[in-house]
Amino acid sequence: MSQGKTAVVPASLGVLGIQRGGGAFMASKAKAAPPRASDEKEDHSLEKFFKENQYFFLPWVCLACVQLAVFQTPCIAAWCDRQGLEPLGAQSVIQMTVFAIMAQYVVHGALAVYHDSLVSQGLKIQDKPYIFRAEEVATRSSVLIMASMTAYALTPMNHGEASLLEIFIGYSILSLLHDAWFYMVHRAAHTQQLYALIHKTHHKWKQPMAFSAYFIRSPSQMLQEHACIIPCMVLLPVPVYSFLLYQYIGAPLSMLEHCGFRVGELTLPVLGLVNLPYFGYLKLEHLMTVLGGGLSLIFGSQTVEDHDYHHLNFHGNYALSFSYLDRIFGTYVEQSQSKSTADEALLKV
């Protein structure tokens, strides 16, 4: 997941204050990527994907074996029983998988439908044609989501009753610890020793889109997410409800973070018609803050523009959800800053 993980994907951007104007279509004509003659000949089917990635599931099988071996060890199994920990199970995994896969298509489809209006409003971040045809990205992303979510089926979690406060505390623990872990791993992945090995695949897309959020290699996903989340669920007071909330909110936000548009500036339906003191007109970014438990108000937000800059320049803005670590360690770079400032951030890797 990636992944600021604090937003819900709207079913349609049409209700978020997007208006169609006479000049919208003409504006989009210059932004829409023309179809290439080779597109129709390219095969991005699952069959071809597995032919080219024959060992794609091997890391996930290894992770499953490790979890079985560790959590079935008598002393550890007895400890889990005393703590009331039980494996997440297949049902929850299937539901999370279906939701996440559908979410990326919803985001991509909504952006494609309202692309003209978004461009005419100046919400597109990079001045490059939007990639409408994304079979290659969608294929790898969907398979990766399936494997990533399934890996949690064997993870012991606390299924007991939890109060709203306990759920919030658990959600906050996952958000803050995973963000810190992601920052360290992500920054290390951009070193010369590790970049080509585990992270280069994700940066194939300098202009990210919803599907590119999970366009990564299996070892990279396991290292960035599972190596942190699994120990948190076993060792810390995090209810299963906090984990589910983190996944159901986090996956769509990661896709929005990679969408290439300033979607946070879109006004909310109905609520966005009211001009509130201090907040102004309510926008999607306000909803994202609320769904994140308000933590970004304290630790700063990793915006769509911040991560888009990272994809375009391959450095700076390494955190997942918050900006405080990038600011503390001098790797935070706003998109509007000069190239010299960006080069300074690169030297600090």
Residue 183 has pLDDT above 90, yes or no: yes
Q: What pLDDT digit, counting tens, does each position of 272-292 carry?
A: 788 888 878 889 999 999 989
Classify residue 9: in a domain, yes or no.
no
In a domain, residue 161? The reply is yes
Q: Is residue 142 part of a domain?
A: yes
pLDDT in tens, 57-101: 999 999 999 999 999 999 999 999 999 999 999 999 999 999 999
In a domain? residue 344? no
In this prediction, residue 190 carries a pLDDT of 94
Q: What percent of the chain has pLDDT over 90?
A: 65
- Is residue 196 one of the residues assigned to a domain? yes
299-302, long-range: CB < 8 A, 24+ apart:
299/176, 299/179, 299/323, 299/324, 300/324, 300/327, 301/4, 302/4, 302/257, 302/326
> What residue numbers bound the domain in which 224 lies?
55-335
- Going by their DSSP bridges, the two strands 275-276 and 280-281 should be labelled as antiparallel
Q: How many domains does the chain have?
A: 1
Q: Find the mean pLDDT for residues 34-48.
A: 63
Please report the pLDDT score of residue 157 as a whole number: 98
Residue 240 lies in a domain: yes
The pLDDT of residue 44 is 78
Is the pLDDT at 169 greater than 60, yes or no? Answer: yes
Question: What is this structure's pTM?
Answer: 0.83
Residue 149 tokens read as 């979510």
Percent pLDDT > 70 in the chain is 84
Q: What is the pLDDT of residue 336?
A: 56
- The answer to whether residue 253 sits within a structural domain is yes
